[in-house]
């Protein structure tokens, strides 16, 4: 099964809280980002963000430029509807990070990129990269 089909099936058959990796809040990731990138005007990209509430918490923390990139349109829609008006500034990017147009440049411009469990990049990668904006 193709990765997109796999993840669509996951999100179409399970509620957000039913997946094994569910956490109400991703406090470790949020703490790493706020510590590495205190500038709320910086761009933050959550790659493979799925339905996670990290985007909610980043917006609530005042980050004005947050993008969520994911293979699953269903997951992005669930997160988008959950945020409602408070997510108006969020960029919802549907696609594969390995082929998404502009993903490389977007990553280079971003102050923080969080990557979690992205097949073909790394099955165990979990981290945040902070860079200074020029
Ligand atoms: C284990 S889930 C984690 C979701 C979310 N980060 C969380 O903590 O709840 C992995 C996510 O990565 C996404 N994903 C997997 N491969 C991807 C790729 N090549 N490009 C973009 N997203 C991808 C999946 O659709 C899924 O939402």
CATH at residue 111: 3.40.50.150
Report the nearest atom of ligand 1 relative to the CA of 98: 19
pLDDT given for residue 102 in this prediction: 72
pLDDT tens digits for range 25-76: 999 999 999 999 999 999 999 999 999 999 999 999 999 999 999 999 999 9
Domain extent, residue 44, equals: 3-16+39-130
CB-based burial, 103-123: b 16+ in 10 Å, e otherwise: beebbeebbbbbbbebeeeee
Residue 66 maps to a domain: yes
Number of domains in the chain: 1
Residue positions counted in the chain: 134
The tokens describing 95, both together, are 């696609």
Residue 29 maps to a domain: no
- Is the shortest distance between the CB of 11 and ligand 1 below 6 Å? no
Query: What pTM does this model have?
Result: 0.85
Distance 115 CA to ligand 1 centre (A): 8
Residue 123 maps to a domain: yes
Residue 101 maps to a domain: yes
């Amino acid at each position: 099964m193709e990765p997109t089909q796999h993840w669509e099936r996951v999100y179409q058959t399970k509620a957000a809280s039913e997946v094994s990796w569910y956490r109400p809040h991703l406090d470790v990731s949020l703490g790493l980002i706020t510590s590495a990138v205190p500038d709320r005007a910086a761009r933050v990209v959550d790659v493979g963000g799925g339905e996670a509430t990290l985007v909610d918490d980043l917006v609530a923390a005042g980050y004005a430029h947050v993008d969520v990139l994911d293979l699953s349109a269903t997951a992005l829609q669930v997160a988008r509807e959950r945020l409602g008006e408070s997510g108006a500034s969020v960029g919802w990017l549907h696609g594969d990070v390995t082929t998404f147009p502009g993903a490389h440049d977007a990553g280079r411009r971003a102050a923080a990129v969080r990557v979690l469990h992205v097949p073909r990049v790394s099955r165990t990668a979990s981290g945040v990269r902070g860079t200074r904006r020029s």
